[in-house]
Structure 1
């Protein structure tokens, strides 16, 4: 902060018997790196609480002074590539058979990125009751109103009701689920002049899903140690009828990617504005090796969708007869090494569509080295191919070194380099950090730079463990049971 001045970062936490929350306020009274006397700030409120036995309330409210605050000053809660700040407020009711939630969802858009629709409000009601003979009746419903800060964009009121009759069965070695659903959605769309949208439109679809899995286990050996090997094959059939949806706007809908868990999701999109027609079979398997302490040493999952008919919903059109093969692997190598990788490989072209790899060495809580790689063949017409190294290592009892480095293999450039040392006592710490990264600054017109770099040197003083909470920001991206 030597060129910008002194910045104040405060954090207040509270905890009662029924409520918990955190308030963060960051304030820079005079940014000396800018030409004018600009006050810059960031605030964040997180709250969750319980009212009585059945009611819960939550809030996640964020705000800042200008689009470039996170780019220039950094954040423990957002990164420089983020384009939206969340503002949500929710109230929920839970009982044995009935769940009701109301949420107000708003966004603060940074730069000239496309404006997102606000859900003001979004009310959901879910009801589940037994029917006898093991069958259940379930209703999922939603009422939402969507609007945008762009006056030319359409607005919409959406009512969705999905009654379902389902038969679940489960024992120690098998899981079975059969369900039939009617998906009915009604829209009232306004401000649709010169758009190929209808003011009043209804969509009714039928859906049938049958899912089954088995669980096998046997004694085995893992590098000479006795373990239990499990094998869980699963299969799912999904049918969803087709209806033209091109006259419905897209208010909260984006395309989803199919990792292993997503293969059995049964939907191509978030939200409800697009529901893909399906006639498909999904097969998958998971195998694990579990040691005598009931810890998974190794876990491998494989799965693929086979399409029995081409999809007609325009946004989800597929020409192939099967999806990419999805694989996911977790491996605890000894007591200090961990590995996680997942990939989607096209069995039509034999090319990797998406992949990620994390390899970690952890000698102790503060002795960590992690190597990461991420690859996406086509993301908005661009290829992503990046590698990164993150490390944390003690120098002495009170001094700690932290560093990270990320490199773009596609553009042959380092996108971020970061190194710092921290002195930490029982109650306070001081940190010295040098970094160089892509600017990502927004210009006066809101356009974001993707080719400029900036360097900086910062000094942090705090009364909490900055290394653990902010400087390193370490989170293991996978979990072994």
Structure 2
């Protein structure tokens, strides 16, 4: 059974170069006489015995475990005491090998022996033992006493060993290994190095937990490392939690370097009230260097078997991803259920790109039954589109075609979005020398298509000329433009003009001042008054269709916009003045805003007359009063408040309030309240509570006050030690407009240095703020 494949495990070879010199000093005697040192060893092949023995260690290098999250310092496992590496590690290829011993015996052409604190040094590498024997004829190095090896990354010890330089093979027994700066360690009964391309280990084990009785460990009866293929093969692999075996794999393969490899990934497990228990076992297929496929068999105990897959293809200029799922004969509905999403992009040149997206589902309830959160279960449309985009220094061009699949029963025929077949848009924006004038052109040509109702083409052209004066004390911007829109319609038998059009001028003048003062606290306060005048003459647009136009969500930015509608089917008339004031306090120490306040309102000199078909006619003298306040007194505390107040009706139209605070001991709370009159009234509370270094609780409540119901709720607990973590989460969220709820439980076990098993809940907010 091959496993985990995608990230790959990395190793680094640590070789000993030829012995360059054998130093002699008053207290240390060289292991070989100087003449034999040069003649017998200096020009021979490099010794590789320490590196090959450490290959099994590099297999488990911390860089290999990409799934392991960072551990807070308080939860780090005790590190072994190792001599630190100071400064830059010298180049091993050019570094000499120094050999020291208290005693040695050698004759020319005969085996030589050394004993008493035998040590070999080269760059950051260090080998020590009590005795060594080298035969210059057979070129075999014998290490009959316990030995230890260290470098800047790994450490290794063995009871004894034997290495042949000619064959580049050897055996080491009772091996223990570990890493510098990491708690990962393990052992093996024996290690056999063969020809530099293969290492065989017997009864090997690995863990990141401290001590000889770890809380978890992964072991195998045998492990074969094929270095030339970049593949490891384990037999009789077993995962133990404490002394309890929890998983047994008779045979498995895995990558030991950067090369990707096909194989099974970690399984996942979850449960939900409407789907039952969900078990999935992904398989990763490395098809080629530029393409792969992940296939996931998934079993729902209440629905049946589903197959899902993700295919990825990458070329020099293109990127493609295809996701698909298919459930055979749903046990609840008796029908096949499916979903697919295809995405592709291409770079034709530095200026031109193409994109494609195609998404479809088998039925309207697919995401309600298989969606993972409220955002998915509340989807109304699936959009598919293809586009080509180009851009230059002063221009942008876009050509697209799109369509929608409606998956919401509440959308009646004739109310679904129009297909745009196609839409071409061109924008030009360039300065006219150094005169301060700017020329701009926005244009769009669209054909709107739908099965019912009016269809047709629309051309919208909006050229304008602006003049800008920007100084340190303020700015002045004047703008003059003309917007022309024309249609060619298919009225589907309805009365009306098949070729209506509209043309209107748009004039605006925008001005503002930049004032500032220094406060007693040392902060700088700014005062930025702004006046914006907009004039657009009235043009009757009642005969124009409504293809894609809606009112903007009114906010502070809309106080300075030339149109209160999105799309080109309506251009609002205007004779109005916007009065606005912004002020902020700039923190002298942090350099950011300690607080900011923006206020503004539109004064209508003439009552706007342009309306959409479903808009009510109201006389407007003033827009709602807009206020936005942000407070950031410290790095881990933010608060914000936004409101739209209708002075004439004396009522709140829109309100948003939020607070996010993280304490020094890691507690974090976020509260947000959202209100839109007659449409929305809900709050969202999230809390993260670290009880101590090991235990954490987290929760979320998203509640609709208007409907008096829970939109989404979450509660979970996590235990984390220095080498493993367990997280349990329960979630409830709405899955349809009829109030149907989904209850789900997620369980995740994370073994640091190995990976995670189970299914993680969708990311919300339960991690400490950075």
User: TM-score, normalised to structure 2's length?
Assistant: 0.53
1:143 maps to: 445
1:398 deviates by 7.7
SS in 1 for 2:546: coil
2:511 maps to: 212
The residue correspondences of 1:393-404 to structure 2 (distance < 5 A) are 393-394=689-690, 401-404=697-700
Contact 1:418–1:436, Cα closer than 8 Å, also in 2 = yes
Distance 1:424 1:204, change over 3 A: farther
Q: Which whole-Å deviations, capped at 9, do the CAs of 1:350-407 have from their partners, x for residues lacking one? A: 211111111112348985321111111134xxxx221221234456778764422122
The residue correspondences of 1:52-131 to structure 2 (distance < 5 A) are 52-75=349-372, 78-112=375-409, 113=411, 114-131=415-432
2:453 maps to: 153
Number of aligned residues: 454
Contact 2:535–2:574, Cα closer than 8 Å, also in 1 = yes
2:17 maps to: none
Q: Which whole-Å deviations, capped at 9, do the CAs of 1:105-162 have from their partners, x for residues lacking one? A: 32221123131012122111112344453222222111111112xx222111011111
Q: What is the distance in 2 between the residues matched to 1:374 and 1:144?
A: 36
The residue correspondences of 1:211-250 to structure 2 (distance < 5 A) are 211-221=510-520, 225-250=521-546
1:334 maps to: 634
1:282 deviates by 0.6
Q: What is the distance in 1 between the residues matched to 2:727 and 2:309?
A: 16
1:434 maps onto 2:730 in alignment: yes
1:104 deviates by 2.2
1:454 deviates by 2.1
Contact 1:340–1:358, Cα closer than 8 Å, also in 2 = yes
Q: What is the distance in 1 between the residues matched to 2:693 and 2:567?
A: 51
2:470 maps to: 170
Select 1:378's aligned residue among 678, 702, 713: 678
Q: What is the distance in 1 between the residues matched to 2:584 and 2:724?
A: 44
Select 1:202's aligned residue among 492, 495, 501: 501
1:351 maps to: 651
- Unaligned 5+ runs, structure 1: 441-447, 476-481
The structure with the larger Rg is: 2
Contact 1:264–1:282, Cα closer than 8 Å, also in 2 = yes
Contact 1:122–1:143, Cα closer than 8 Å, also in 2 = yes
Q: What is the distance in 2 between the residues matched to 1:286 and 1:188?
A: 45
Contact 1:42–1:65, Cα closer than 8 Å, also in 2 = no
Select 1:361's aligned residue among 657, 661, 664: 661
Distance 1:417 1:78, change over 3 A: closer
2:763 maps to: 471
SS in 2 for 1:262: helix
Distance 1:351 1:427, change over 3 A: farther
Q: What is the distance in 1 between the residues matched to 2:646 and 2:420?
A: 37
Q: Which whole-Å deviations, capped at 9, do the CAs of 1:337-359 have from their partners, x for residues lacking one? A: 21122110012122111111111
User: TM-score, normalised to structure 1's length?
Assistant: 0.83
Q: What is the distance in 2 between the residues matched to 1:173 and 1:469?
A: 52
2:549 maps to: 253
Distance 1:301 1:22, change over 3 A: farther
Distance 1:424 1:474, change over 3 A: closer
Contact 1:44–1:63, Cα closer than 8 Å, also in 2 = no
Distance 1:464 1:12, change over 3 A: farther
Q: What is the distance in 2 between the residues matched to 1:468 and 1:361?
A: 25
Distance 1:16 1:253, change over 3 A: same
Q: What is the distance in 2 between the residues matched to 1:421 and 1:257?
A: 39
The residue correspondences of 1:382-393 to structure 2 (distance < 5 A) are 384-393=680-689
Distance 1:214 1:183, change over 3 A: same
Contact 1:374–1:386, Cα closer than 8 Å, also in 2 = yes
SS in 2 for 1:226: coil
1:283 maps to: 579
Select 1:413's aligned residue among 702, 709, 714: 709
SS in 1 for 2:677: strand
Select 1:43's aligned residue among 326, 341, 349: 341
Contact 1:430–1:459, Cα closer than 8 Å, also in 2 = no
1:254 deviates by 0.8
Q: What is the distance in 1 between the residues matched to 2:713 and 2:704?
A: 12
Contact 2:688–2:766, Cα closer than 8 Å, also in 1 = no
Q: What is the distance in 2 between the residues matched to 1:247 and 1:407?
A: 43
1:336 deviates by 2.1
1:181 deviates by 0.8
Contact 2:341–2:357, Cα closer than 8 Å, also in 1 = no
Moved more, 124-133 or 274-283: 124-133
Q: What is the distance in 2 between the residues matched to 1:164 and 1:289?
A: 36
SS in 1 for 2:538: coil
1:478 maps to: none
Q: What is the distance in 1 between the residues matched to 2:596 and 2:692?
A: 37
Select 1:299's aligned residue among 593, 596, 607: 596
SS in 1 for 2:659: strand
Q: What is the distance in 1 between the residues matched to 2:365 and 2:477?
A: 50
Q: What is the distance in 2 between the residues matched to 1:290 and 1:59?
A: 45
Q: What is the distance in 2 between the residues matched to 1:31 and 1:322?
A: 57
SS in 2 for 1:378: coil
1:234 deviates by 1.1
Decide which structure has greater strand share: 1
